[in-house]
Amino acid sequence: MDRPACRLPDEGCPTEKVRQVLRRRKESDFPWESGRLFGYVYHAGDTVRQVALEAMRHYLSENALNPAAFPSVLQMEQELIAMTAHLLHAPEPVGVCTSGGTESILLAMLSAREKARTERALPNGSGRVIVPHTVHPAFDKAAHVLDLELVKVPTAADGRACPERMAEAVDEHTIMVAASAPCWPWGLIDPIEAIGRLARQHDLYFHVDACVGGMFLPFAPHRDQLPAWDFRVEGVSSISVDLHKYGYAPKGLSVLLYRERALRRHQYFTTADWPGGLFATPALAGTRSAAIIAGGWAVMQHLGRQGYERLTASVMAATDRLRRALERTGKLQVIGEPDMSIVAVTSDAVDLFELADELALRGWVVGRQQHPASLHFILNPLHVPVINHFAEDLEAALRRLLHPPAGKKMRHMATRLSARLFGKLPAPVQDRLFHWAQRYVKATPGGRQAPMYGMMGALKANKQVEKVLSDYLDRMFAIDCAPCGKM
């Protein structure tokens, strides 16, 4: 990969040279079009991609900050909110477009906090939010930013949120409960109706995180067999839906929906004393890309309900085939009973992180999870034609693990033993070893990462793990400049 250029070039580069550099640099990225990447990209086909690109070209320069100047952008945003609200049975189309699920969740928690401060004179730093431990880390980030206490409750035996345990955690400082439809780690819809009753009983704000499921579940072939999870459930205050996942919109587009307008007002920002004039924004950002809004609107108009139903049916059929292939091995167990196109597996027979390494050597990238150790698969239309090939490589990878050559078997044993010993070392020594190991463990699809995951799993203190992660980010964004600003 090229070293970063740290100076603006004195003379501008010709267009063709810029194109050449972009093409060359992209060669180092994972070829997601192959369908071998489980996560990050949601692709509905080249035609849908072209529809989005054309719409984005029309609105590349426009700014959603000023709807008076660009009323067509406002109309598209209104229609995105209205279409999504109709799919989720909202009593009225009330919401806002955001940059993604993290912003949507943060704004929902902001609304809950401001509502509590208005109605209950909530002191700063005293609000508590009760959630199952499977909620997305965006809730942790929002609680940190908003000075709220996030209380994580263990799930029930089936992997879904436990309303009884959540009820036990409620006290006089609780302002909000939240749940997922479905949770990211295991693809399970939490018991939204029971949690809705809990919210009504204690007059609590209730947010449903449907960032991954909001544009999938309404179109699923089995949608009539699913438990209620949207605004049909009394007590649901707001729902977050990422259009850039199964809505197949360009990255950076989510919708936060509210049951009523009064709730949305709590997230607004307004100020009247700036010399630059009156200032008001509906979400966190000031300037917002009109191109992203236009791309998302165009895709939803192009696909329509029938297009989404067709795509969702094909992805669910591929998910069923994948699940059968995983279970057919006899060595992997699916966690719970997934409700959509997310499948996670655990195992008592093999080291799952070593299995992920073996799959990576064969060109597949799967998610690696913890508590319990598991592998994560989230499917989109790209995976429909490749599941049979993946099943073959999965069998080969398992055979390699279960019957390794002598040298490889010794390495597996050394990796496990090293992880156990690592957990007994003093923290400063562990830190130095982490720094050393990260030079040799490549964070790439073809690199072996099982040793690093084993070392991380040996740590007992979350704060120490978080320090390691912060150190990793520091190293990732350390810039080693190319000379003379050359590309």
262-320 per-position pLDDT tens digit: 999 999 999 999 999 999 999 999 999 999 999 999 999 999 999 999 999 999 999 99
Q: Which of 184-193, 404-413, 449-458 is predicted with the least confidence, judged by mean pLDDT?
A: 449-458
Please check the confidence at residue 419 and state whether its pLDDT lies above 70. no
User: In this structure, is residue 479 part of a structural domain?
Assistant: no
Distance between CA atoms of residues 312 and 448, nearest Å: 33
Please check the confidence at residue 468 and state whether its pLDDT lies above 90. no
Structure-block tokens of residue 475: 């190293």
Distance between CA atoms of residues 476 and 144, nearest Å: 23
Distance between CA atoms of residues 340 and 101, nearest Å: 18
Q: How confident is the model at residue 204 (pLDDT cuts 50, 70, 90)?
A: very high
Cβ-contact 204, 242 below 8 angstroms: no
pLDDT at 413: 56
Distance between CA atoms of residues 239 and 180, nearest Å: 9
Q: How confident is the model at residue 469 (pLDDT cuts 50, 70, 90)?
A: confident
pLDDT at 444: 53
List, for residues 12-42, the tens digit of each pLDDT value.
999 999 999 999 999 999 999 999 999 999 9
CATH, residue 247: 3.40.640.10
CB burial readout 301-322, b (16+ within 10 A) else e:
ebbeeebbbebbebbbebbebb
Distance between CA atoms of residues 420 and 97, nearest Å: 47
Phi first, then psi: give them for residue 215, nearest 5 degrees. -110, 20
pLDDT at 480: 81
Distance between CA atoms of residues 485 and 294, nearest Å: 35
Give start and end residues of each alpha helix (H) in 88-151: 101-120, 138-146
User: In this structure, is residue 469 part of a structural domain?
Assistant: no
Please check the confidence at residue 425 and state whether its pLDDT lies above 80. no
Helix (H, G, I), strand (E, B) or coil at 209: strand
List, for residues 226-238, the tens digit of each pLDDT value.
999 999 999 999 9
Structure-block tokens of residue 268: 């607004």
Give start and end residues of each alpha helix (H) in 242-386: 261-264, 290-328, 352-361
Which stretches of 35-92 are assigned E, i.e. beta strand?
Answer: none
CB 431: neighbour CB atoms within 10 A? Answer: 15
Helix (H, G, I), strand (E, B) or coil at 305: helix
Nearest to 324 by CA among 396, 377, 363, 368: 377
Q: Write the secondary structure of 165-192 as one string of H (helix), E (strand) and C (coil).
A: HHHHHCCCCEEEEEEECCCCCCCCCCCH
Residue type at position 124: N
Residues in the chain: 487
Please check the confidence at residue 78 and state whether its pLDDT lies above 80. yes
Name the percent of the chain lying above pLDDT 90.
79
Mean pLDDT of 229-253: 98
Counting beta carbons within 10 angstroms of the beta carbon of residue 150, is it exposed (0 to 12), middle (13 to 18) or buried (19 or more)? buried
User: In this structure, is residue 433 part of a structural domain?
Assistant: no
Mean pLDDT of 51-79: 97
Cβ-contact 235, 200 below 8 angstroms: yes
Counting beta carbons within 10 angstroms of the beta carbon of residue 129, is it exposed (0 to 12), middle (13 to 18) or buried (19 or more)? buried
Nearest to 353 by CA among 415, 433, 396: 415
Distance between CA atoms of residues 135 and 181, nearest Å: 10
Nearest to 368 by CA among 350, 349, 355: 355
Degrees, nearest 5: CA angle 243-285-183: 40
Instruction: Mark residue 252 as left, alpha or beta (left: phi above 0; alpha: psi -120 to 50; beta: remaining).
Output: left
User: In this structure, is residue 267 part of a structural domain?
Assistant: yes
What one-character DSSP code corresponds to residue 449?
-
Degrees, nearest 5: CA angle 365-325-454: 45
pLDDT at 455: 53
The domain of 70 spans 55-300
pLDDT at 478: 84
Distance between CA atoms of residues 450 and 375, nearest Å: 12
Please check the confidence at residue 431 and state whether its pLDDT lies above 70. no
List, for residues 97-154, the tens digit of each pLDDT value.
999 999 999 999 999 999 999 998 777 768 999 999 999 999 999 999 999 999 999 9
Q: How confident is the model at residue 465 (pLDDT cuts 50, 70, 90)?
A: confident
Total number of domains constituting the chain: 1
User: In this structure, is residue 196 part of a structural domain?
Assistant: yes
* Backbone Cα Rg of the chain: 24
Nearest to 366 by CA among 400, 328, 332, 399: 332
Q: 164: part of which helix (H) or strand (E)?
A: helix 163-169
Please check the confidence at residue 451 and state whether its pLDDT lies above 70. no
pLDDT, averaged across the chain: 91
User: In this structure, is residue 410 part of a structural domain?
Assistant: no
pLDDT at 466: 82
User: In this structure, is residue 411 part of a structural domain?
Assistant: no
User: In this structure, is residue 105 part of a structural domain?
Assistant: yes
Cβ-contact 427, 455 below 8 angstroms: no
